[in-house]
A and B are shown apart, each in its own frame.
Chain A
Amino acid sequence: MSRLSVKHLLGTDELNSSDLGTIFEMADHFKEVINRPIKKVPTLRDTTIANVFFENSTRTRISFELAEKRLSADTVNFSASASSLKKGETLLDTINNILAMKVDMLVIRHSSPGACHFLSRKIDATIINAGDGTHEHPTQALLDCYSILKEKGRIKGLKVAIIGDILHSRVALSNIFALQKLGAEIMVSGPNTLIPRHIEMLGVKKEVNVQAALEWADVANILRIQLERQKSRAFPSLREYSLYYGINKKMIDSLNKEILIMHPGPINRGVEIDSDVADSNRSIILDQVENGVAIRMAVLYLLAPTLQNN
C-alpha cells in the first residue's frame, strides 16, 4: 500500500523494494506538481520541519527546503556554524531543544556515521537522514535510482558502475543498497586506496581500471573527489587522479555504446569528470537535481506523521 515499512528514513539499507516502488510512484506525481505554473500544494501545511545541518551542504539543503516549501510545510533551518554546539551543547540536547518547539520532522546531516540512528532511538519526531558521515545518504540514492529509471525505463538487469572515492562516500553505499534491491548489478571503480577493503562482501564487483569499468557498464555514476576528506593522502595529486581516473570525452567516445553519465554534485570539473562529458547529452546530471526535489517531496509526504488529537 501507500505506507512505507519504516517510520524514519535512516538509510536505503532499511527499505524494501516495495517501499522504493511507492516512493518512485509518489515522486512521479510530485514531478508533475513542480512543473505546474503554481508549484505549491497545501498538503503539509500543518507540519513543521527542521533542517538540521551539522555539516555544510548547498544542494541537499536547498533541495529539501524547496521540497518542504512546495508542500507548504513550515520550515526552520539550523546550521552548526551558527549554533550553540560551539558553546558545548550535546547533539541530543540540541535536538531536544528544537523538538520542544513542536517540530514534527527533522532532516539531519551530521558528520558522524550513525548520528540519525542514534537520534531515532531517543526521540519521537520523524527523522530523515540527509547524510551521516561516510555511512548513508538515502535521498541521493533514491533520486539516482529514480533518474536511472526515468531514463532507461527499468533498473533490473542494468549494470551500474560507481566511480571515484568509494571509501569516503555515503552516496556510494546508499546507491549500492538501493540499486541491489532493484535488481541492478554494481561495480565500484577507482584507485585501490579509495575503495574499502572487502567491498566484495556487499555483492559488488571491483575494478581498478576505470576504462574497463566503463566498458562493462550501462550507467556510470561518477562521484566527487571529496577534497575536504582527503587527509589520508590516498593519491599523490589531483592532476594524477584526473590523468588516471578522470572521465574524459575520449574514453566515452571509444565505447561502442550509449552510457548514462551521472554525478551527485558538486562537480570538480577537470578532476573526476571533464566538462565536455558532464555537459554532454549522455549526462543526466541536471535531471538528477530536478528529480531530487520530487523524490524529497515524496519521502516527506510518505513519512509525515499522523496528527495526534489532543
Chain B
Amino acid sequence: MKRRLILPEKQLDIVLSRLCHQVIENFQDFSDTVLIGLQPRGVPVANILGKKLHKLGYKDLPIGLLDATFHRDDFRRKEEPIKANKTNIPFQVEDKHVILVDDVLFTARSVRAAMDAIITFGRPRSVHLVVLISRKNSQELPITATFVGKQVNTMKTERVEVQWNEPDGLNGKVWLVDSKSGNVQA
C-alpha cells in the first residue's frame, strides 16, 4: 500500500481560505452569484467554502447541490446502472454567475455532465469551476478549472482521496493513493 499525504490539515485549511479570497476577488459582492456543489464529493467542499465566506461577511450566498448522473456519457456502458444522488437547487439559475465546486478534477467528464445538467435549470450568465485538486494532464476533455486549490502530478493508477474530519467536516486531509500497490481503505 502506497499512500502519500499531499495536503495536511493545516495546509488544506489555507488552500480553502485562499480559494475563498480568489472567489471574492472575482465576484466582489456576490450579487447574482450562486455556489453549486457537485454530488457526491463536491458537496462538502462547497459547504466549507460557504461557511468560510459566511464568516468573511458574505452571508446570503445561495448554495445548491447538483447531481449530474443522468447527463453522464457512460450510461449503459457499465454492468450496473449508475446510482444517482440528490439534486437540490432551490433558487433561480437563469442569468446568474454559477460557481460549480468539486473536490478533484480528473478526466473532466463529470464537469461536462454538470455543465449540461445546470443548463436544464436555466441559462446562467457564466459558469465557473472551483476544484480543490486538479490532476495535471489527465483531462480527457478541453476543460480546466477557473480556481484550483492545488495542482498535482499523478499517474492513471493513482487516486486522490479527500478525507473530511468527523463530525463537522470543516477540515481534513488529502492523500494520493496508488491503487496498483494493494488494497487501500479510506
Contacts and interface: CB of A to CB of B under 8 A. Distances in A.
A33 B121 contact: no
Contact of B76 (A2, A28, A29, A306): A306
Interface stretch (A37-45, A55-63, A193-201): A37-45
A305 B79 CA distance: 9
Residues of A in contact with B, size category = 20 to 34
Residue of B70, B71, B83, B120 with most partner-chain A CB within 10 A: B70
B77 A26 contact: no
B142 interface: no
Interface in B113-146: 116-117, 119-122
Is chain A's interface secondary structure helix, strand, loop, or mixed overall? Answer: loop
Interface size band for B: 20 to 34
Contacts of B75: 43-44, 304
A39 B70 CA distance: 12
A38 B120 contact: yes
Interface in B89-119: 116-117, 119
Interface string A1-30: 111000000000000000000000010110
B71 A41 contact: yes
B84 interface: yes
Contacts of A302: 81
Contact of B121 (A26, A36, A42, A47): A36
Chain B CB within 10 A, most for which of A39, A40, A301, A305 = A301
A37 to B, nearest CB: 6
B106 to A, nearest CB: 22
Nearest to B77: A307
A290 interface: no
Most B CB contacts (10 A, CB to CB) among A29, A302, A304 go to A29
Interface in B15-66: none
A44 to B, nearest CB: 7
A32 interface: yes
B78 interface: yes
A37 B122 contact: yes
Nearest to A26: B84
Contacts of B69: 29
B120 A36 contact: yes
A46 interface: yes
Contact of A3 (B71, B80, B120): B80
22 contacts: A1-B83, A32-B87, A36-B120, A36-B121, A38-B119, A38-B120, A38-B121, A40-B120, A42-B70, A42-B71, A42-B116, A43-B70, A43-B71, A43-B72, A44-B75, A71-B70, A302-B81, A304-B76, A304-B81, A306-B76, A306-B77, A307-B77
Q: Which 3 A-B pairs have the closest CB atoms?
A: A41-B70, A38-B120, A2-B83
Interface of B: 67, 69-72, 75-88, 116-117, 119-122
Given A33-B70, A41-B71, A305-B76, 18 more contacts: A3-B80, A3-B81, A29-B67, A29-B69, A29-B85, A29-B86, A32-B88, A37-B120, A37-B121, A40-B120, A43-B70, A43-B75, A47-B76, A304-B75, A304-B81, A306-B77, A306-B78, A307-B77
Interface of A: 1-3, 26, 28-29, 32-33, 36-44, 46-47, 71, 301-302, 304-307
